[in-house]
Amino acid sequence: MKLAFIGMGNMASALAGGFLRAGKLRRDEIVAFDPNTAGLAAKAAEFGFLTAKTAADAARDADAVLIACKPYQVEAALHSLSGVLGGKALLSIALGWDHARYRALLPDDVRVQFIMPNTPALVGSGVFLFEETNTLLPAERAALLDLFGALGTVMTLPTAQMGIGGAISGCGPAFVDLMIEAYADAAVLYGVSRDTALRLVSATIEGSAKLQKETGKNPEVLKDMVCSPGGSTIRGVTALEKAGFRAACISSIEAIMKTHN
């Protein structure tokens, strides 16, 4: 598969570099265009993909075109691609540009798939939400699921759930970062160096998430495995409950969802 990137920001370069490192695509199978020519050249030199002088040049010989520019730039990008998208798959990671929005602007022979990535894709641990509504060919979609799966976890959600899914996976890293910072502060308060504190907290969160993911056990069960009667952990859990920890987590997502209603 030859993949053209329209836009080469941090997320796009993480994807391009990840596909190359994973051996999913060769150097000559990725071509990119970005109006920031200096930045594009620097990333091409770093990751090893090809570049094009225009969006149309990038897309002309590609099998699939990935729209990775800012949401407000999408319509202009589509205009620059008119005449070269026919018969191709169009993928998009532009926030808010779902299947229906593209379908209203594109001819029927352009196949569309909306994908929501998140920042951990930068280290090969991303979450990629594929909108269930799409017009990809079955074999084409299977190949793309495999391609993105090399960089993390791929999930398919109905269109109506892409908003909440994106709130969790897209905004969630910031909430986890806030928790990492807070627990690292607690460790520093008790004499641990900042670097050690951050490593300690991040490794604890990573291990806990992996344990839940691989065992499939309810977090309540895993929590109870650590909470011995009258012990330290249940005292800490009680303090979190009194502070409204779980309610605050839910409220953070409610605040995001209210902005979309």
Q: pLDDT tens-digit profile of 94-129? A: 999 999 999 999 999 999 999 999 999 989 999 999
10 and 124 part of one domain: yes
pLDDT in tens, 56-80: 999 999 999 999 999 999 999 999 9
Q: pTM of whole model > 0.85?
A: yes
Of the candidates 140, 157, 174, which is a domain's last residue? 157
246 and 142 part of one domain: no
Query: Sheet holding 50-51: strands in order across?
Result: 50-51, 30-33, 3-6, 64-67, 89-92, 111-116, 126-131, 152-157
Q: Quote the pLDDT of residue 122.
A: 86
Q: Quote the pLDDT of residue 260.
A: 67
27 and 146 part of one domain: yes
Query: How many angstroms separate the CA atoms of 122 and 148, rounded?
Result: 12
Structurally, the chain folds into a number of domains equal to: 2
83 and 197 part of one domain: no
Burial 46-81, CB ≥16 within 10 A → b, else e = ebebebbeebbebbbebebbbbbbeeeebeebbebb
Query: How many angstroms separate the CA atoms of 99 and 257, rounded?
Result: 20
For residue 135, give its domain range. Answer: 3-157
